[in-house]
Amino acid sequence: MSDMKSATTVGRAKTRRKGVLRRLGRTILRSNSFQSTAALLVERWFRFTCASNPEMLGSDDLNAVVGDRWPVIIALWHGQQLLVPFLAPPEQDFACLFSRSADAEINARIVQRMGFTVVRGSGGRHQRSASAAKKGGVSATLALCNALNAGSSVVMIADISKGEPRRAGEGIVRLARLSGRPILPVAVATSRYHVIEKSWDKTTINLPFGKRCVRIGAPIEVAADGAQQTLDAAREAVTASLNRLTEEVYAAVEKSS
């Protein structure tokens, strides 16, 4: 009996220690000093990776495709967005949406270091209810719309976090309808990369010393008076374009390697 009590006591002590270590880890990861330092290192790594992957002949250029139609809504897939900020023309302003959650803070800081404006969306410690999430989504859409109206382009992930990967959600087409600005599908790939297979979106980590290919799809317009059927058609168009472009860039870099 005493052995059983001793084993139970030891087990409880281990559980408590694990809980303390987890809380300590979260505190460190969310501290201002850690996130600032991590954002600096990650941004430098991405910048070096982009610079060490020269662009392939035949890659598309944002300015050449957009022409005088700035600002636009640049659409990307989750897990494929790490190098896109470095492809943005320096004379253009860009905004990007991030949730208010602590987990998204480091990503927001990385993007800020790249020169993008950060727009805060839904989420966060105090946002528990569905109605609060809906209000946060509406305010984020309005903030992005205001950015577009002020002349800043928006970079937006088309598929929904934790939803169906590689399928455009409704948020991006609603923003296009509300703002009157076109959606521009963009895909980029490097010949050297690592895919995180266990991630829901198959996040791709681009690696240095390869080649880079960029493909940009035709602009997709969404009518201001578009009904639900129009939104659904626009979602399908964004999905098809991004999937086609993604296949093209990977085929191009793999052929070159």
Residue 246 has pLDDT above 80, yes or no: yes
What is residue 149's predicted lDDT score, i.e. its pLDDT? 94
Alpha carbons 83 and 17: distance in angstroms, whole number: 39
Q: What CATH number did the domain enclosing 184 receive?
A: 3.40.1130
Residue 30 has pLDDT above 50, yes or no: yes
The whole domain housing 128 covers 31-256
For the chain, the average pLDDT equals 84
CA distances 160 to 10, 168, 171, Å, are 43, 7, 9
What is residue 82's predicted lDDT score, i.e. its pLDDT? 82
Give 136 or 189, the one with higher predicted confidence: 189
Q: Would residue 100 count as lying in a domain?
A: yes
Residue 126 has pLDDT above 70, yes or no: no
Q: Would residue 185 count as lying in a domain?
A: yes
Q: Would residue 22 count as lying in a domain?
A: no
Alpha carbons 60 and 77: distance in angstroms, whole number: 18
What is residue 122's predicted lDDT score, i.e. its pLDDT? 62
What is residue 18's predicted lDDT score, i.e. its pLDDT? 62
Task: Compute φ and ψ for 39, nearest 5 degrees.
Answer: -60, -40
Q: How many domains does the chain divide into?
A: 1
Q: Would residue 85 count as lying in a domain?
A: yes
Segment 164-180, tens digit of pLDDT: 788 999 999 999 999 99
Q: Would residue 124 count as lying in a domain?
A: yes
Alpha carbons 103 and 134: distance in angstroms, whole number: 20
Total number of residues shown for the chain: 257
Q: Could you identify the residue written with the tokens 């957009």? A: 66
Q: Are 62 and 188 in contact (CB under 8 A)?
A: no
What is residue 134's predicted lDDT score, i.e. its pLDDT? 58
Q: Are 175 and 156 in contact (CB under 8 A)?
A: yes
> Encoding tokens for residue 217?
């799809």
Alpha carbons 154 and 1: distance in angstroms, whole number: 66
Portion of the chain with pLDDT greater than 70, in percent: 81
**Across residues 73-89, what is the average pLDDT?**
88
Q: Would residue 21 count as lying in a domain?
A: no
Alpha carbons 63 and 16: distance in angstroms, whole number: 56
Q: Would residue 3 count as lying in a domain?
A: no
Whole-model pTM: value is 0.83
